């Protein structure tokens, strides 16, 4: 029996919920209307203490990881409000602090506090470390040079899941795309280290996640969203899709030949099947 996975992209960003328009001005208006959120979120300790409640067990439990790259205003605050755990990967704490300082000063910074900061701490500013420590954030140093700061935070995520005997529904990685290309490839590598997980890298206007082979993927998303299918790990054989403007029917995707870029969703449910990825 073939495995199946569901990706609820329409829960990832207000822009994926809004009706798309040919008018760029209208999209900006939608953004301004939807992108104001409070720092209130379902805190991890409270959610897990209520784990005997069946409704709590069934609800999505999301984790937000903040990398040391620009924060995407169009998505970040929305995903914060949907996450029970927030972790800064080293200098990601600097990004968090700077983002809210620029937006509203100390009063706003004081309201958006991460649960953990973890990494080798070579990028973390001392005043940022002291500030978040004073607000209750737990700072964890890992000096290993064999792992990236994102890998270190994933080790923490795995440890927390093991302690509480559950799995996060989604792990959203802010700043996972863009910036230093070496860091970007390192972040993409993390997706391949956790092929059984819903890990999502995002930056302003962009999301990236791994669609593994031998599995039917159902993607819930709005119409008219631009998307691409990139065979990053190697040729993908027998790829079939529905719900796209340019669907694939038992096609192979391979660099140097066919790849599906700048495709567009034509339905609110997209399905995709990859029979085999050749490494």
130 in the same domain as 253? no
> Which positions of the chain have pLDDT values less than 50?
18, 20-34, 52, 54, 279
User: CA 47 from chain center: how many Å?
Assistant: 20
63 in the same domain as 174? yes
Q: Write down which residue in 188, 208, 228 finishes a domain.
A: 208
63 in the same domain as 9? no
80 in the same domain as 112? yes
Structure token pair of residue 46: 């409270």
The CATH number linked to 121 is 3.40.50.10240
Domain count, the chain: 2
201 in the same domain as 68? yes
Q: Write down which residue in 208, 230, 257 finishes a domain.
A: 208
Beta-carbon contacts of 236 under 8 Å, excluding residues fewer than 6 positions away, are: 213, 229, 252, 253, 254, 274, 276, 277, 278
User: CA 70 from chain center: how many Å?
Assistant: 14
26 in the same domain as 129? no
Task: Specify the pLDDT at position 36.
Answer: 55
Q: Mean pLDDT across the chain, nearest whole number?
A: 86
Q: Write down which residue in 156, 174, 208 finishes a domain.
A: 208
Beta-carbon contacts of 49 under 8 Å, excluding residues fewer than 6 positions away, are: none
Q: Can you tell me the distance from the alpha carbon of 186 to that of 174, in angstroms, rounded to the nearest whole number?
A: 14
Kind of pairing, strands 260-264 and 226-229? antiparallel
DSSP per-residue string spanning the chain: --EEEEEEGGGT-HHHHSPP-S-HHHHHHHHHHH----S----HHHHHHTTTSHHHHHS--EEEEE-SS---TTTHHHHHHTEEEEEEETTHHHHHHHHHHHHH-HHHHTT---SEEEE--SS--HHHHHHHHHTTPEEEE---SSS-HHHHHHHHHHHHHHHHT---SEEEEET-SSS-HHHHHHHHHHHHH-TTS-EEEEETTEEE----SSEEEEEE--TT-EEEE--TTS-EEEEEEESBSS--SSEEE-TTS--EEEEEB-SSEEEEEEEEE--
The CATH number linked to 226 is 2.60.120.320
Which domain covers residue 148, as residue numbers? 39-208
153 in the same domain as 125? yes
Task: Specify the pLDDT at position 43.
Answer: 64
Task: Specify the pLDDT at position 76.
Answer: 93
118 in the same domain as 84? yes
19 in the same domain as 3? yes
136 in the same domain as 270? no
pTM of the model: 0.88
Kind of pairing, strands 170-174 and 199-203? parallel
Kind of pairing, strands 251-253 and 199-203? unpaired
| pLDDT tens sequence across 158-198 | 999 999 888 999 999 999 998 889 999 999 999 999 998 99
Q: Can you tell me the distance from the alpha carbon of 267 to that of 63, in angstroms, rounded to the nearest whole number?
A: 28
181 in the same domain as 78? yes
DSSP per-residue string spanning 224-257: T-EEEE--TTS-EEEEEEESBSS--SSEEE-TTS
155 in the same domain as 241? no
């Amino acid at each position: 029996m073939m495995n199946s996975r569901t990706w609820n992209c329409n829960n990832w960003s207000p822009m994926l919920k809004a009706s798309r328009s040919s008018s760029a001005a209208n999209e900006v208006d939608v953004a301004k209307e939807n992108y104001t959120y409070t720092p209130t979120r379902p805190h991890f300790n409270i959610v897990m203490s209520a784990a005997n409640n069946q409704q709590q067990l069934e609800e999505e439990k999301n984790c937000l990881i903040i990398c040391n790259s620009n924060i995407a205003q169009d998505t970040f605050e929305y995903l914060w409000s949907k996450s029970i755990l927030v972790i800064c990967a080293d200098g990601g704490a600097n990004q968090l602090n700077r983002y809210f300082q620029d937006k509203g000063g100390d009063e706003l910074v004081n309201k958006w506090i991460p649960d953990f900061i973890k990494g080798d701490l070579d990028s973390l500013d001392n005043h940022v470390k002291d500030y978040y420590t004073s607000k209750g954030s737990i700072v964890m140093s890992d000096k290993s040079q064999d792992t990236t700061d994102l890998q270190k935070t994933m080790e923490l995520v795995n440890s927390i899941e093991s302690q509480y005997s559950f799995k996060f529904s989604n792990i959203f990685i802010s700043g996972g795309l863009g910036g230093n290309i070496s860091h970007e490839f390192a972040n993409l590598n993390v997706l391949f280290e956790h092929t059984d997980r819903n890990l999502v890298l995002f930056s302003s206007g962009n999301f990236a996640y791994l669609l593994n082979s031998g599995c039917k993927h159902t993607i819930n998303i709005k119409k008219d969203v631009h998307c691409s299918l990139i065979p990053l790990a190697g040729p993908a054989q027998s790829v079939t899709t529905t719900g796209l403007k340019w669907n694939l029917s038992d096609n192979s995707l391979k660099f140097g030949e066919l790849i599906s870029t700048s495709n567009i969703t034509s339905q609110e449910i997209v399905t995709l099947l990859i029979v085999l990825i050749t490494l």
